[in-house]
A and B are shown apart, each in its own frame.
Chain A
Amino acid sequence: MNTPRIFPQGVDGLLVRFGDVLDDETNARALQFAEVAAGLGGVLEAAGGLTSVYVRFDPVVGRASVEQTVSAALANEGQAEAQPSRLWKVPCCFAGDYAPQLAEAAELAGVTPGVAVTELCAEPVRVMAIGFAPGQPYLGLLPDHWNIPRQTNLTAEVPQGALTVAVRQLVLFANPSPTGWRQVGRTGFRCFDMDRPEAFALKPGDLMQFDAVSAVEFQSLLNAPMGGAVLS
């Protein structure tokens, strides 16, 4: 196990990094420590990411004191335990205009578009972090050959619900956004909706499995709650 390192992240924050490479163990450690860090004295909020934990503290308490508290908690870090997960089944259209970069992404992964869709739907992927935009999941990990780079030039805008891929992960966009990730599908999933009792749909650890639907089916699901996604 890597020894976690602590860095400053702004005048009122610090970052605890558990590793430089994303794997399930490093991610599990980060998510578990985020829960611990949130309860520490002087800490205003903590968030678990892919390989790190962001901690925001009260500068009146001071960095030195908070770092000490965080270090002490890290020294007692327990074995990361698998948490029971919820499974979301999410209809996704991988056809035509809904998947503008599927062919390109599949080629980079060394498979045909058809095989790519089969692979992306074969197994559930896990919410490894929520971030970038409200409720937006980073999902993974995909098999090794999906370790494809981000684009150097940004796509000007992917739509809300876009399913994108890069570096063995999928990101399901909460809002229209520019991105360097390639859009391979489109869902009607709303990651964030203030009008729902639970505004943020997902939490880290949730599983998500995509179900390929036709463009016609996708259209009919667009106005369904959660774009036809079902939570079990």
Chain B
Amino acid sequence: MNKEWINVGAVVNFAKDLGSCVKVNGLQIAVFNLPKNNQWYAVQNLCPHDKRMVLSRGIIGDKEGEPKVTCPLHKNSFSLKNGKHVSEGDVDDITTYPVKVKDGDVFLEVSV
């Protein structure tokens, strides 16, 4: 399958230190804007634990320096870098997507 960079909107649309959900080719993707080190991450919006579209509403943090998001429903945490489940219990990992910022817009690389 081919991959393509898709424009998901202007940087100013993405609240700082928070997640925002975008719709890309029918997919729900959570995008996280961490302005402190100018970092952006994108992961699936679906929490694999209870299968709800909520990860964009989770708290951002880090586990031993590794950035993570914590699901608002049951506090499962996932690495924003590689999608690995990093809290206790047996929960699947999540999919991550490459993000880049160009000319004031945010782009995600997804399969088309």
Query: Do chains A and B interact in one complex?
Result: no
Q: Which residues of B contact A (CB under 8 A)?
A: none
Q: Which residues of A contact B (CB under 8 A)?
A: none
